[in-house]
Chains A and B, each alone.
Chain A
Amino acid sequence: MSVRITSHLKLLEAESIHIFREVAAEFQRPVMLYSIGKDSSVMLRLAQKAFYPGPIPFPLLHIDTSFKFGEMIRFRDWYPASIGARLIVHRNEEALAQRANPFRLGTQKCCALLKTKALLDALAAGPYDAAFGGARREEEKSRAKERVYSFRDGFGQWDPKNQRPELWNLYNSRLEKGESIRVFPLSNWTELDVWQYIHLEEIPVVPLYFAAEREVVVRGDMLISVEHNPPLLPGEKPRMVMCRMRSLGCTHCTGAIRSEADTIPKIIEELMLFRRSERENRVIDHDQEGSMEIKKREGYF
Chain B
Amino acid sequence: MAGTLAQLSPIEQFLKENEAKECLRFTTAGSVDDGKSTLIGRLLYDSKGVYEDQLASVKKSPVNRSGREIDLSLLTDGLRAEREQGITIDVAYRYFSTPRRKFIIADTPGHEQYTRNMATGASTADLAVVLVDARSGVLPQSRRHIYIASLLGIPSVTVAVNKMDLVGFSQEVFDGIRLELIEFFARLRSDNVQFIPLSALDGDNVVTRSRRMPWYQGPSLLEHLETVPGGPSKPFEQMRFPVQYVIRPHLDFRGYAGQVASGTIRPGDHVMALPSGRTSVVKSVVTYDGDLEEAVAPLSVTVCLEDEIDVSRGDMLVHPSALPHMSRHFEAMLVWMNGQPLELNRSYLLKHTTQQVPATVTAIVHKVDINSLGHAPAGRLQLNEIARVSVETQRPLFFDPYEENRATGSFILIDPLTNLTLGAGMIRERVGDAGHQRIRQALMGIQFKTERPTPAERAARLGHHAAAVWLTARPEVAKLVERRLFDLHCMAHLLSDDVDSDVLPEVASIVVSSGLIAICSIASGMREELERARELIGYDRLVVIEPESLPVDDQQAAEAVCDILASRGLLDAGPLGFGREA
Q: Which A residues fall within an 8 A CB radius of B?
A: 1-15, 17-18, 21-22, 24-25, 48-55, 137-138, 141-142, 144-145, 160-161, 163-170, 172, 174-176, 187-188, 190, 192-193, 196, 199-200, 265-266, 268-269, 272, 274-277, 280, 290, 293
Contacts and interface: CB of A to CB of B under 8 A. Distances in A.
A170 B23 contact: no
Contacts of B80: 290, 293
B22 interface: yes
Interface in B273-297: 286-289, 294, 296
A53 B253 contact: yes
A142 B337 CA distance: 23
A8 B102 contact: yes
A145 B245 contact: no
Given A53-B253, A165-B116, A167-B120, A268 B410 contact: no
B231 A167 contact: no
Given A50-B300, A275-B52, A167 B412 contact: yes
Contacts of A160: 79, 81, 90
Given A174-B414, A175-B419, 9 more contacts: A14-B300, A52-B288, A53-B249, A141-B78, A144-B76, A144-B94, A161-B81, A167-B412, A174-B416
A275 B245 contact: no
Contacts of B123: 167-168
A119 B334 CA distance: 39
Contacts of A24: 245
B244 interface: yes
Interface in B12-27: 12, 14-15, 18-23
Interface of B: 9, 11-12, 14-15, 18-23, 48, 50-54, 76, 78-81, 89-95, 97, 101-102, 104, 107, 116-117, 119-120, 123-124, 230-231, 235, 237, 244-245, 247-249, 253, 255, 257-259, 263-264, 286-289, 294, 296, 298-300, 302, 313, 337, 349, 351-352, 354, 406-407, 410-412, 414, 416, 419-421, 424
Contacts of B287: 49, 52
25 contacts: A3-B296, A4-B235, A6-B23, A8-B23, A14-B299, A21-B244, A21-B257, A52-B287, A142-B79, A164-B421, A165-B117, A167-B123, A167-B124, A167-B412, A170-B352, A170-B410, A172-B420, A187-B93, A200-B19, A268-B11, A275-B50, A275-B51, A275-B52, A277-B51, A277-B54
Contacts of B117: 165
B89 to A, nearest CB: 7
A164 B420 contact: yes
Q: Which 5 A-B pairs have the closest CB atoms?
A: A8-B23, A174-B419, A17-B300, A54-B249, A277-B51
Nearest to A290: B80
Contacts of A51: 245, 247, 257
B11 A265 contact: yes
A131 to B, nearest CB: 18
B350 to A, nearest CB: 10
Nearest to B423: A165
A170 B48 CA distance: 33
Contact of A18 (B244, B289, B349): B244
B105 to A, nearest CB: 10
A188 B407 contact: no
A55 B22 CA distance: 32
B95 to A, nearest CB: 4
A52 B286 contact: yes
Given A49-B288, A172-B414, A145 B257 contact: no
Given A55-B249, A172-B412, A196 B104 contact: no
A188 B133 CA distance: 30
Contacts of B120: 165-167
Contacts of B294: 2
A103 B242 CA distance: 53
A2 B263 contact: yes
Contacts of A49: 287-289, 300
A210 B237 CA distance: 46
A184 to B, nearest CB: 11
Contact of A269 (B11, B53, B424): B11
B23 A21 contact: no
B120 to A, nearest CB: 5
A47 B390 CA distance: 39
Contact of B259 (A17, A141, A200, A277): A17
Contact of A137 (B21, B95, B352): B95
Contacts of A290: 79-80
B85 to A, nearest CB: 12
A276 B51 contact: yes
A280 B97 contact: no
B51 A54 contact: no
A18 B19 contact: no
B349 to A, nearest CB: 7
Contacts of A52: 247, 286-288, 302
Contact of A50 (B89, B257, B349, B407): B257
Given A53-B247, A160-B90, A293-B80, A25 B296 contact: no
A196 B300 contact: no
A51 B90 CA distance: 34
Contacts of A55: 249
A265 B247 contact: no
Contacts of B289: 49
Given A4-B235, A54-B248, A172 B421 contact: yes
Given A161-B81, A165-B337, A268-B11, A5 B299 contact: yes
Contact of A138 (B21, B95, B352): B95
Contact of A11 (B14, B95, B237, B298): B298
A188 B11 contact: no
Contacts of A174: 349, 414, 416, 419
Contacts of B237: 1-2
A16 to B, nearest CB: 8
A293 B79 CA distance: 7
Contacts of A138: 93-95
Contacts of A2: 237, 263-264, 294, 296
Contacts of A141: 54, 78
Contact of A25 (B89, B245, B264, B419): B245
Nearest to A279: B53
A21 B245 contact: yes
A7 B20 contact: yes
Given A8-B102, A272-B14, A168 B410 contact: yes
